[in-house]
Amino acid sequence: MNKLMGKTYRLMLMLIILIAGVMAERTGLVEYLSDPYEYPVIIELLVQHLYIVAISMTFATIIGLGAGIILTRKRFRRYAGICMYIVGLGQTIPSLAVLAIAMSFLGIGLKPAIFALSIYSILPIARNTLAGITAVPTSFIDAARGMGMTPLKILFEVELPNAMKVIITGFRIALIINIGTAALSYLIGAGGLGDLIFTGISLMQTEKLLAGAIPITLMALIADGLADFMGYILISKGLRLSG
């Protein structure tokens, strides 16, 4: 039974790749991508998209990590619940709405897009940082204190390393959502690969659609793998193997 499943699975995979290839050819995608006039435009949009993602993720990571860490410190622990609730509420708000609201206040272009995306990406990182650090067994921290470590040292050598797996998961979620939402930033004048998708939809030009949709999908999948890779580097071997 399992062997049959395995074979069917592989067959399906091959079928999907075949269909994808045929689609790419028939809809003129390949032709479009190699058109010397369009090619630089596509690259430009790709670069724009990566730019937006990179900057907003940087802000989000710094703020998210920072907030998550601060909320686990003794003084602020009681605010953790409320803060997480508010930020959680923020993430219930649909991505398009956040972009639209940002545009109403900050105008059009890169500024509102990066602002909106940063805010939107903070939650997964902050929440996971908080959860990860809180989940570090108190026995570890006691042991560290017993060894004479200062709070700062405890943070960097005990709490963070142990929480890294959860934090990276949060980072990954934020990154993938970010890449997808960045596609919407075209609507408020910030460019990016969304340009190709929305143009493709409104003009019914499939090759544009796919030229936009496929790179974004690939980016998201690569980001997923990137997060795994980061886990590989940042999480110590012992934790990785036990997790």
Spell out the alpha helix ranges (H) of 93-190: 95-106, 110-134, 138-146, 151-154, 160-182
Decide: is 108 part of the binding site for another protein (CB under 8 A): yes
Q: Which of residues 11, 86, 89, 143 is near another protein by CB under 8 A?
A: 89
Q: How far is the CB of 54 from another protein (least distance, A)?
A: 16
Decide: is 103 part of the binding site for another protein (CB under 8 A): yes
CA distance 238 to 235: 8
Handedness of CA 240, 178, 117, 39 (dihedral sign): positive
Scored b (16 or more CB within 10 A) or e, 132-171 reads bbbebeeeebeebeeeebeeeebbeebbbbbbbbbbbbbb
- Enter the tokens of residue 19: 């269909």
**Closer Cβ to another protein, 3 or 74, answer by number:** 3
- The stretch near another protein (CB under 8 A) out of 1-9, 68-76, 137-145, 154-162 is 1-9
Question: Of 137-196, which residues contact another protein (CB under 8 A)?
Answer: 176, 179-181, 183-184, 186-189, 191, 194-195
How buried is residue 225: exposed, middle or buried, by Cβ count under 10 Å (0-12/13-18/19+)? exposed
Q: How far is the CB of 166 from another protein (least distance, A)?
A: 17
Those residues with Cβ within 8 angstroms of residue 4's Cβ, 6 or more apart along the chain or in another chain: none
Q: How far is the CB of 238 from another protein (least distance, A)?
A: 24
Q: Which of residues 100, 106, 226, 239 is near another protein by CB under 8 A?
A: 100
Interface residues toward another protein, by CB under 8 A:
2, 5-6, 9, 23, 27, 40-41, 44, 89, 92-98, 100-101, 103-104, 107-109, 176, 179-181, 183-184, 186-189, 191, 194-195, 197-206, 209-210, 212-214, 216-217, 220-221, 224
